[in-house]
């Protein structure tokens, strides 16, 4: 009988974070809390202050996840030269601006300077690995490791290989993110926006439509989502939900009974809004009324506290065994 052991971070001691903005700081916090040495590469002159402030902000969430946060920044370093930053690293997580040419330029340097064993992952939320790796000599080494914001908290990482990414790299990425306590999902095909953002986008289009049409306000719509599908989807995805919605007949009955009506009367009636001037003004005005009382930091902290409580209830935090 062969026993496959759970992936560990044993072979990961040093990580290079390229781009220390919103996503880079969040990955850095998680990597540090998981015991890795972290080097940040970012051309901003004030990057050190920004990263340290960002880490301070997310430390309570990391602690609430049950991760060790004492002396978090002892193993944090900064290196302005990209080749030096990735030399001797075990994993590179790139979080630079979402521009193809820039990412290609970064990866051309990284593949030459990083050790052959290093995992090379980009956080891009829309650019296929195939397009970035087009500029690389070793395209088999690059993979998309797309987190859901904030990466230190939300479990999902979409692992998206390009056409030339090797199976070894795919396995390496899966194992690394699993060992970090994330839930990696490998996509079977490259598609713009990957999966989670395509789903958000589909739903958000109808959200904008419903508010623009005056059916509900933003605040009312958010309340409807969190009290229904948001709560439901945290425990059962759309397919499982509709399988249950079909009663004893399951999904086949659901499709016959309600799915066909959805196809003929609901899908064609869904909105196709635009961010024209009037719609944008309406959305901004309602957002001010709904969320204007708190700063973004306060609202994010409140969201993170609730998110962690939910994750804990579902057994999804590192201290609950994933
Ligand atoms: N923000 C999100 O919700 C989100 C979610 C998932 C993935 N992503 C992806 O993560 C990446 C970063 O997004 P973000 O929201 O953190 O952006 P950001 O603007 O907050 O951070 C980008 C950072 O890259 C730095 N940078 C600029 N040029 C650089 C270079 N040549 N080398 C290294 N760093 C450089 C900038 O100074 C900045 O600090 C993007 O590819 C984005 O698509 C973002």
At 156, which CATH number?
3.40.50.720
| Residue 56, both tokens | 């301070």
**CATH code, domain carrying 211:** 1.10.1040.10
Residue 306: predicted pLDDT:
92
Instruction: State which of 144, 160, 186 marks the end of a domain.
Output: 186
Residue 3: predicted pLDDT:
61
Residue 322: predicted pLDDT:
41
Residues 53, 157 within the same domain: yes
The finding on whether 81 has its CB within 6 A of some atom of ligand 1 is no
Residue 302, in any domain of the structure: no
pLDDT over 90 (residue 106): yes
Residue 232, in any domain of the structure: yes
How many independent structural domains does the chain possess? 2
Residues 149, 253 within the same domain: no
Instruction: State which of 129, 158, 186 marks the end of a domain.
Output: 186
Residue 317: predicted pLDDT:
79
Range of the domain at 99: 14-186
Residues 26, 154 within the same domain: yes
pLDDT over 60 (residue 74): yes
One DSSP character per residue, 166-205 reads: -HHHHHHHHHHHHHTT-EEEE-SS--TTTTHHHHHHHHHH
pLDDT over 50 (residue 316): yes
Task: Provide the pLDDT confidence category of residue 320 given band limits of 50, 70 and 90.
Answer: low
CA of 168 to the centre of ligand 1 (A): 27
What's the rounded Cα separation, in Å, for the pair 161 and 186?
A: 8
Residues 80, 181 within the same domain: yes
Residue 300: predicted pLDDT:
86
| Residue 63, both tokens | 């602690």
Residues 164, 206 within the same domain: no
Residues 31, 152 within the same domain: yes
Of the candidates 101, 182, 98, 97, the one whose C-alpha atom is nearest the C-alpha of residue 148 is 182
The finding on whether 298 has its CB within 6 A of some atom of ligand 1 is no
Instruction: State which of 186, 220, 244 marks the end of a domain.
Output: 186
Averaged pLDDT for residues 114-120: 98
Q: Which of 203-212, 224-233, 300-309 has the lowest mean pLDDT?
A: 300-309
The contacts of residue 211 (CB under 8 Å, 6+ apart) are 217, 218, 221, 282, 283, 286
Residues 27, 85 within the same domain: yes
What's the rounded Cα separation, in Å, for the pair 49 and 9?
A: 28
Residue 298, in any domain of the structure: no
Averaged pLDDT for residues 4-29: 94
Residues 177, 105 within the same domain: yes
pLDDT over 60 (residue 2): no
Averaged pLDDT for residues 123-152: 96
Residue 3, in any domain of the structure: no
Residues 153, 56 within the same domain: yes
For ligand 1, what atom is nearest to the CA of residue 125? 43
Residues 218, 272 within the same domain: yes
Strands 142-147 and 156-161: antiparallel
pLDDT over 70 (residue 177): yes
Residue 292: predicted pLDDT:
83
Residue 309, in any domain of the structure: no
Residues 277, 159 within the same domain: no
The finding on whether 125 has its CB within 6 A of some atom of ligand 1 is yes
What's the rounded Cα separation, in Å, for the pair 292 and 220?
A: 15
Strands 183-186 and 142-147: unpaired
Tell me the pLDDT tens digit for each residue of 187-211: 999 999 999 999 999 999 999 999 9
Residues 248, 162 within the same domain: no
For ligand 1, what atom is nearest to the CA of residue 23? 16
Residue 212: predicted pLDDT:
98
The pTM for the full model equals: 0.93
Residue 311, in any domain of the structure: no
Q: Is 76 helix (H, G, I), strand (E, B) or coil?
A: strand
What's the rounded Cα separation, in Å, for the pair 93 and 224?
A: 36
Residue 310, in any domain of the structure: no
pLDDT over 80 (residue 319): no
Residue 321: predicted pLDDT:
47
What's the rounded Cα separation, in Å, for the pair 111 and 130?
A: 15
CA of 123 to the centre of ligand 1 (A): 8
The finding on whether 24 has its CB within 6 A of some atom of ligand 1 is yes
Residue 299, in any domain of the structure: no
The finding on whether 99 has its CB within 6 A of some atom of ligand 1 is no
Task: Provide the pLDDT confidence category of residue 246 given band limits of 50, 70 and 90.
Answer: very high
Averaged pLDDT for residues 277-288: 97
């Amino acid at each position: 009988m062969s026993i496959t052991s759970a992936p560990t971070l044993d072979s990961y001691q040093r990580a290079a974070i390229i781009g220390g903005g919103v996503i880079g700081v969040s990955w850095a916090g998680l990597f540090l809390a998981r015991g890795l040495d972290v080097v940040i590469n970012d051309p901003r002159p004030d990057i050190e202050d920004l990263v340290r402030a960002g880490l301070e902000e997310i430390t309570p969430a990391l602690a609430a996840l049950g991760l060790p946060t004492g002396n978090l920044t002892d193993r944090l370093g900064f290196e302005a030269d990209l080749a030096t930053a990735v030399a001797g690293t075990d994993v590179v997580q790139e979080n630079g601006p979402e521009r193809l040419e820039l990412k290609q330029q970064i990866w051309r340097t990284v593949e030459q300077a990083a050790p052959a064993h290093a995992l090379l992952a980009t956080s891009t939320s829309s650019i296929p690995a195939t397009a970035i790796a087009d500029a690389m000599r070793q395209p088999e080494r690059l993979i998309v490791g797309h987190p859901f914001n904030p990466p230190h908290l939300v479990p999902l990482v979409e692992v998206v290989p390009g056409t030339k990414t090797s199976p070894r790299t795919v396995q390496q990425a899966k194992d690394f993110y699993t060992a970090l306590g994330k839930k990696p999902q490998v996509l079977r095909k490259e598609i713009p926006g990957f999966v989670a953002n395509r789903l958000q986008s589909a739903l958000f289009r109808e959200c904008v439509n419903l508010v623009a049409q005056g059916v509900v306000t933003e605040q009312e719509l958010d309340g409807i989502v969190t009290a229904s599908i948001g709560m439901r989807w945290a425990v059962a995805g759309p397919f499982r939900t509709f399988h249950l919605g079909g009663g004893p007949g399951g999904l086949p009955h659901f499709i016959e009974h309600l799915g066909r009506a959805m196809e003929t009367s609901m899908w064609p009636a869904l909105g196709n809004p635009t961010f024209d001037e009037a719609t944008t003004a309406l959305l901004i005005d309602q957002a001010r009324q709904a969320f204007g009382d708190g700063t973004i930091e306060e609202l994010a902290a409140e969201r993170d506290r609730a998110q962690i409580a939910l994750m804990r209830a579902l057994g999804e935090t590192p201290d609950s065994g994933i």
